Structure 1
Amino acid sequence: MSYQNLAGRTVVVTGAASGIGEAVAVRLAAEGARVALLARRAERLEAIAGKIRAGGGEALAVVADVTDDASVEAAAARVREAYGTVDLVVNNAGVMLPNPIDEGRIDEWQRMLDTNVTGVLRIIRAFTGDLVRAAEEGRTADLVNISSIGAHVTNFTNYAVYGATKAAVTHLSALLRTEFGPRDVRVTNIEPGLTETELSTHIDSEELSGQLDGMVEAIGTLAAEEIADVVGYVASRPRHVNLRQIMVLPTRQA
């Protein structure tokens, strides 16, 4: 499906080096948007941006670490220098590190909090002015946060901290609508279920990795491109329509 109203949009996608972020960047560029791809892996970013440009799209690879204030600010300046005011931000960067809580893995907790929660806030801080300015100019302005079904379900044993970080993103998205909505900036929270991404490669426990593989075998997964399709749909609605929250699950996932 091709979407109207995306051509000419100026987009930032975090976590764009793989998975959902890559798929979103490729899809929005194919619809005519100028897309800035943010992630830490320079080589991978350049390859994806090159693929987009080879297909006739506009793409900018920007190396950025959402856990670092200076890195995010520098990335925002680079994007504005190249493309001007941003009117669509897709907060996708995230990390999933499940382990039993009694292992006390503070290093993992901190990494998830700093990436999944504070990283989202850093990006919002960096581009709020852009989104508000775009809306004031009569343009469509969108903040899209990629959360997870893990924000709600409680049967993913050993995923407590990850789920808590995603619950924070979901609640943050809802509360931000009270600040951004009156200024005509839309906020959308998307919560994917099991999706084929690199998140599973972050797991360092063979037992937990095996459990996840078992769920995938029994339930199946969504493709990253299917989540990108949802992002494209959300961002292409008429300016006065805000799809506030969308859960996207494989049919067999409860």
Structure 2
Amino acid sequence: MSYLISMNGKLNPGSVTWVDLNALQVPGVGNPFPSASPTPRTAAAAASSAALRQEAQLAEGRGMERWRGKAALVTGASAGIGAAVATRLAARGLRVLGLGRRLHKLQEVEKLAREQGGELHVLECDLTKEEDILRAFQWASDNFGGIDVLINNAGLFYETLLSDGATDEWRQMLEVNVLALKVCTREFLRGLQRRSTQPGHIVHINSVGGHWVPSLPGAAAYAASKHAVTALTEGLRRELVKTGRAGIKVSAISPGLVKTEILDRGNLHSAASDTVFASHAHMLPEDIADAVEYVLSVPERVQIHDIILRPAGEEGF
């Protein structure tokens, strides 16, 4: 540590000199400025400080530490947002069950989570089949003792006109985006009730399409399914409060364009997905995982109802 010292009280050329107080030694005295040499922060002190912060967060009912060792179920975990959320929760110490239809992709996500030190289990599951959903929740009950955090992430998008669209595409969007979400939510709440457990948290991955209809002509049917999620989020919040289960939170995260496989897996007619992402501002799955972590981290007295995320620089989509 060095200080500028004036020899005559004036900052004139030739009147000042730099003195390194750390190296200053006075005969018979030593260094008269011991405070100039700050004591390095030891690893033990840093660990103690971190532990105190965690204790404070736990006392206030906030932070991810309170979910450590708890169990989470993530739908649509084989890629994109679901994979990012599943691996993030596993990295934060939750035991995670990831569901999806593509087992080989799920296994890749499972391997990644385990390499990062997390606990992630996967099950092949077709959310359009109620028996598959029930089997998944039974697995969670048998192996985890139940689920504490539910991430309803799975979703389908088809670019389909209302005037001549395919009924099967409409049906699939409603089955995955709405009906499966409701069945998963019901089974999650039943599990908490059997265990007499509060708190718990449900996070619906909604969409900006749940708040307004995108300009793409063939997006109205998809937007309708996401508007349903908006209604279900508020409807469940009120139901939980009125039935004395306000300790169970329900939140929605509504992102704009995110670079995932949803446009490839759907029936996009107007443009190739690569062209869409190249010409439109977009987010990444990890950005949505950040939002999920934030929603789960706020104090117990706070409920995040909905977060709308839009890419910086977005002109409209």
Instruction: Report the TM-score, using the length of structure 2 for normalisation.
Output: 0.74
Distance 1:243 1:133, change over 3 A: farther
**Alignment partners' CA distance in 1, 2:83 and 2:105:** 10
Superposition map of 1:17-166 within 5 A: 17-132=78-193, 136-137=196-197, 139-154=198-213, 155-166=215-226
Deviations 1:200-236 (A, max 9, x none): 1034344x234x6555334321100110110011012
Identity of aligned residues (%): 34
Structure 2: where are the runs of 5+ without partners? 1-62
Question: How far off its partner does 1:69 sit?
Answer: 0.9
**Residues 158 and 268, structure 2, Cα contact 8 Å, conserved in 1:** no
Task: Report the CA distance between 1:159 and its aligned residue.
Answer: 0.5
1:134-180 per-position Cα deviation (integer Å, ceiling 9, x unaligned): 6x54x531010011101123323211110000000111011100122
Q: Is the 8 A contact 2:259 2:277 kept in 1?
A: no
Tell me if structure 2 keeps the 8 A contact 1:143–1:188: yes
Query: Hey, what's the Cα distance between the residues in 2 that align with 1:119 and 1:73?
Result: 11
Q: What residue number does 2:32 align with?
A: none
Q: 1: CA distance between counterparts of 2:211 and 2:118? A: 37
Distance 1:214 1:44 in 2: 24
Amino acid at match of 2:221: V
1:7-22 matched pairs, under 5 angstroms: 7-22=68-83
Structure 1: runs of 5+ lacking an equivalent = none
Alpha-carbon offset, residue 111 of structure 1: 0.6
1:219 matched to which residue of 2? 280
Q: Is the 1:38–1:61 contact (alpha carbons within 8 Å) kept by the matching residues of 2?
A: yes
In structure 2, do the counterparts of structure 1 residues 173 and 203 end up closer, same or farther at CA, with 3 Å as the change threshold?
same
The letter of the residue matching 2:207 is S
Question: Helix, strand or coil: the match of 2:77?
Answer: coil
Say if 2:256 and 2:311, in contact at 8 Å, map to a contact too.
yes
8 Å CA contact 1:62, 1:78 repeated in 2: no
Alignment of 1:132-211 (within 5 A): 132=193, 136-137=196-197, 139-154=198-213, 155-181=215-241, 182-183=244-245, 184-206=247-269, 208-210=270-272
Higher relative contact order at CA 8 Å, sep ≥6: structure 1 or structure 2?
Answer: 1
Q: Counterpart amino acid of 1:15?
A: G
Change (3 A) 1:225 1:132: farther
Higher Rg: 2
> What does residue range 228-239 of structure 1 map to in structure 2 within 5 Å?
228-239=289-300
Contact 1:180 1:187 in 2 (8 A): no
Q: Which amino acid aligns with 1:79?
A: A
- Report SS of the residue matched to 2:67: coil
